[in-house]
Amino acid sequence: MAETFHPAKHREWIIRIAQWGNALGLFLHNRLRLSPRDIATLTTIPPEAGLILALNHADEMDIPICMEVARRARRRFTYMINAEAFEEYRGIAGWWLQRLGAFSVARGATDEAAQRYAVELVKQGGQVLVIFPEGEIYYLNDLVQPFKTGAVRFGLQALTEARAMRPDWTVYLLPMAIKYRYRTTIEWLLHRRIRRLENHLAIRSRYVTLQQQLAHIMAELLKHQQPLENIRARSQQLARLSDRVREVRTAIVASIAAKYPQVPLDPAARLQDRAQRLIGFLQEQLRRKQLFSPATRAQIQHDVQDLKRTIQMVGWYPPYTALHPSEERLAETVMKLEREAFSTPRPRPLGNREVLVRIGTPVNLGPALTTYREDASGTCHRIAEALRDEIQTLIEPVEG
């Protein structure tokens, strides 16, 4: 794994070619619905102002959707993307990502280079910093997860530094919501993909509904994890599946944390944040190329993969389909289970989709500067929660 931070290296001709190719692909497979009014909300923000676009992270297609929004708005977008994506295909992916306008951030670690880069981008103005505050794709398209505060913090830090020389300058936070839904029925594909999962796991479902079949597959996959046996024995009922998922995740994180007591973990932090902190520490050890034995290095890499699974399992939420078994929710659950069962980093959607994009009301961070100076953490948290709530509201009216 590379040691260096990867800055964005925009190449306009590459971006233009990629945008037009991307637009064609979207037209064929993912029809975008974006109103001129929403585009106007983006384009009317003064180019010289700082601008951070914060959106939900519902699917692997979110970046291509942002590329199309950038093309239509004729604004330069710069994306903050997980550093691991830059190392794919032996670094070739990183070369393209940089020239498409992306920079890397090491999740779970204190990536001072990425944070400083983000603040400077906002201070420069003239471009849009794109951040996914959920931090992970959970495939919960109808349910926005709690936001991390980085997007707010970068904006307020940039504002604090810039106001010394430009007292009237400001930064805007712009919420954007993305929602996917299938253009035609996918019921037969759901049956086929579920049967494929059952065959892979060598199980035969006795359940009638698709959501019950998926719950049974989820329970079977949990048996393949490595937590304590008593957890499995106490949690056999499908009705307790949500509790069982949480218990398995907790046991995995606790068992790995016990191996590395030198890592400071906040017991009040969310489980996925503790897992990400451990991942950041372990990946840093691997980057430093310390003299680990092959067995020790393999164990660290195995622990990283197990921790990543616990983060992805946030999306294993049985009530999501039990309360509203729409084809979209069932399909998302299939994709999550395929990711685990087949070790597929990017599971395929079950068909062509319609993509609904809505842009909310810009938030001027200027009025929050006073409270930020008094209580930085509380202010960032409050604004991030309000941002998440607005994006959830933007998603909900587009059911029809």
Q: Predicted confidence band at 400 (pLDDT cuts at 50, 70, 90)? A: very low
Q: Predicted confidence band at 284 (pLDDT cuts at 50, 70, 90)? A: confident
Contact, 193 vs 334, CB < 8 A? yes
pLDDT at residue number 231: 46
pLDDT at residue number 164: 86
- CA torsion angle 51 56 109 260 (round to 10): 170
Please name the residue that has the structure tokens 């708005």: 73
Taking only the tens place, the pLDDT of each residue in 193-247 is 999 999 999 988 777 789 989 998 998 898 876 554 444 444 445 568 888 899 8
Please name the residue that has the structure tokens 């400077």: 120
Contact, 295 vs 289, CB < 8 A? no
- Rounded to an integer, what distance in angstroms lies between the CA atom of residue 395 and that of residue 196? 31
Contact, 336 vs 136, CB < 8 A? no
Q: Predicted confidence band at 267 (pLDDT cuts at 50, 70, 90)? A: confident
Full set of structural domains in the chain with CATH: 12-183+352-399 (3.40.1130.10), 187-341 (no CATH)
pLDDT at residue number 237: 54
- Rounded to an integer, what distance in angstroms lies between the CA atom of residue 327 and that of residue 330? 5
